[in-house]
């Protein structure tokens, strides 16, 4: 896949940019440039990097492109990529008319948090544990200064890449990093989303400290976690497992 402009490069003096470049290379070798994704990378290399003419980011289904905009050959490759990237957790999306019916209805969560967001216009925004970037695609409608989607999972990286290459949202990128790495962005982000992640962390309090480190003074964090009903005091690390989720 071809190189794109790094939207974080202009901020090299404000973040730990040298350390970030080294960590990108390491995580790329571990999660991105690995044999299981060779076939998918080959498919992506045949796709044009064009901006779709019809893009709708302010509806429940993030819609990128109309069927009439690309050839049948491109549609066939997109279909193969979508299938190769199953499961799709966050969504829903429509890519050149091909609806991606995600496992989660992320639009419902977005509609709950949107009224409480600070105005993202010209702000620097992060989604930590952002999966394939659904919330930032929705956020793009407000014209933030930049948006960074953090998730160390290779599948989510390639899902993001498939959608992003056609979206025309040039001020957004995916970093294959986790919450343990966001200290590289000390006092940098105006708005941080940290939702549905903390109960997967082995050190939840440490994770919160990391998030606090990357948030600018006076910034906003949107935080979501599981809650246990009842009046009994419970800790952040109760014994056992909840919902068959790892570390939860």
| Assigned CATH for 19-224 | 3.40.50.150
Q: What pLDDT, in 10s, does the model give residues 15-48? A: 999 999 999 999 999 999 999 999 999 999 999 9
Q: What pLDDT, in 10s, does the model give residues 65-120? A: 999 999 999 999 999 999 999 999 999 999 999 999 899 999 999 999 999 999 99
**Beta strand pairing status for 62-64 and 215-224?**
unpaired
Q: What stretch of H or E contains 124?
A: strand 124-128
> Directed axis angle between helix 72-84 and helix 38-45, to 10°?
160
- Under DSSP, the state recorded for 189 is E
pTM metric for this prediction = 0.91
What is the separation of C-alpha 228 from the centre of its chain, rounded to a whole number of angstroms?
A: 27
């Amino acid at each position: 896949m071809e190189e794109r402009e790094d939207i974080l490069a202009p901020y090299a003096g404000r973040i730990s940019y040298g350390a970030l470049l080294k960590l990108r290379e390491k995580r790329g070798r571990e999660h991105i440039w690995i044999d299981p994704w060779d076939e998918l990378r080959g498919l992506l290399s045949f796709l044009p990097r064009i901006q779709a003419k019809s893009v709708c980011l302010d509806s429940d289904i993030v819609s990128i492109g109309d069927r009439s905009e690309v050839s049948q050959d491109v549609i066939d490759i997109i279909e193969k990529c979508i299938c190769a990237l199953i499961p799709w957790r966050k969504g829903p999306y429509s890519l050149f008319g091909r609806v991606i019916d995600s496992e989660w209805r992320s639009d419902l969560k977005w509609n709950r948090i949107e009224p409480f967001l600070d105005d993202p216009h010209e702000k620097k925004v992060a989604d930590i544990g952002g999966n394939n970037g659904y919330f930032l695609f929705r956020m793009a409608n407000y014209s933030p200064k930049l948006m960074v989607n953090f998730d160390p999972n290779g599948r989510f990286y390639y899902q993001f890449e498939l959608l992003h290459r056609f979206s025309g949202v040039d001020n957004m990128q995916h970093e294959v990093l986790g919450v343990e790495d966001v200290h590289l962005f000390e006092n940098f982000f105006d708005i941080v989303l940290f939702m549905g992640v903390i109960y997967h962390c082995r050190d939840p309090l440490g994770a919160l400290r990391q998030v606090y480190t990357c948030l600018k003074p006076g910034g906003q964090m949107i935080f979501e976690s599981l809650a246990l009903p009842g009046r009994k005091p419970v800790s952040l690390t109760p014994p056992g497992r909840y919902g068959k989720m790892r570390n939860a």
